[in-house]
A = this chain, B = another copy of it.
């Protein structure tokens, strides 16, 4: 069996099959599993990358039937049942493709360098450097208009990630950095959260969207719902609300809007006639296989799965984990010669989004909560799911310390080994 991708989907397949009489190979470009739900905390200096990443070999150490291979998959050949990688070909009997999703700029690929998204560790440290450097630039800038532009931050997309980023930026400006500068008052920073739909957190019930918006406003974030971004350049963004256009001078734009399935979706379409949705996700059968290919599964953000009569499942970690466990159980039944299981059914245990310290919203069926209690549940759930115990202990230590001191210790501008850490043209 070959699993492509060591995210939540792929990892949960492998972990659930640790004792099965199978030979499993997990292929990933990176040597670590990344706990993406906390990546925004790296981007905002609250955690270090090492605290939310665990080496795949460590996570799978006790699976004696599992090999980890670092490599890039370039093609899949279902006829010969081979995965083609930059390390050579790997044969499979069963293939699980779980390569996730990447940013999507809605036909404006030139925006990518202007408005980085948040998918990888490198994205997070890049965003961290841009945000911190913007305050440094503002401190040095004497022209009021240019200083203003350095203190304006625009976040595109008000799903959970956009809301988390905006809330964290609000806390950084109003709290963390408050006494750090001598010439600027970081509280003058303006954080703008732009959302195309009619409210923030559009995937949540309307009452929780309203709560989240109140929490954002309390952190100094201005929300612009029903608003599209029409242009981004190095000096600002133009947004359109209905017929009204607004130009916002800013040097820092963060992208939390569109995602597109990984390019292996296209490979599966070309090689195995997999049907794709508009976002490039594989429309999978009820048992998560590709139509006509019972030996190939697509799960997680790469897959589009719809319960009868429902909406496609969202691209969140719990979906990927449950799909991973389902595929593992199905494969185990096949190995044992048992009947196929019932179709995959996602059990939604609840939806959580955090805005900041003591601020979050949570939906558990008809139970809607917000504020401290929702935030406490959020902290608890995320600590429980952190894959490796040492990360959990470290993250807990850091959170407790940050909570009581209002500090964010990992505020490093890194990535450039020579020359100035900052220069005026660095972001243009």
Residue-by-residue, is A368-394 near B (CB-CB < 8 Å gives 1, otherwise 0)? 000000000000000000001011011
A29 at the interface (CB under 8 A from B): yes
Known: A401-B393, A414-B49. A57 touches B181 (CB 8 A): yes
Interfacial residues of chain A within 43-92, with CB under 8 A of chain B in the complex: 47-51, 53-55, 57-58, 61, 67, 69-72, 86-87
Separation of A411 and B50 alpha carbons in the complex (Å): 8
The answer to whether A58 and B180 touch across the interface, beta carbons within 8 angstroms, is yes
Which chain B positions have C-beta within 8 A of A87? 140
Separation of A122 and B415 alpha carbons in the complex (Å): 7
Q: Give the distance to chain B from A97, nearest Cβ to Cβ, in Å.
A: 17
- From A215-223, A253-261, A419-427, give the one contacting chain B: A419-427
Q: Name A413's contact: one of B31, B177, B415 (CB within 8 Å).
A: B31
The answer to whether B409 and A132 touch across the interface, beta carbons within 8 angstroms, is no
Separation of A120 and B411 alpha carbons in the complex (Å): 16
Which chain B positions have C-beta within 8 A of A61? 179-180
The size of the chain A interface, using a CB distance under 8 A, is 61
Residue-by-residue, is A167-199 near B (CB-CB < 8 Å gives 1, otherwise 0)? 000000000010111110000000000000000
**Minimum CB distance partner of A54 in chain B:** B409
Most buried by B among A53, A69, A393, A414: A414
Q: Name A50's contact: one of B48, B123, B179 (CB within 8 Å).
A: B48
A30 at the interface (CB under 8 A from B): yes
Separation of A188 and B151 alpha carbons in the complex (Å): 54
Q: Give the distance to chain B from A194, nearest Cβ to Cβ, in Å.
A: 25
List 9 contacting pairs A-B, 8 Å CB cutoff, sorted by A. A50-B409, A50-B410, A55-B411, A57-B181, A70-B421, A86-B423, A388-B409, A390-B407, A390-B409
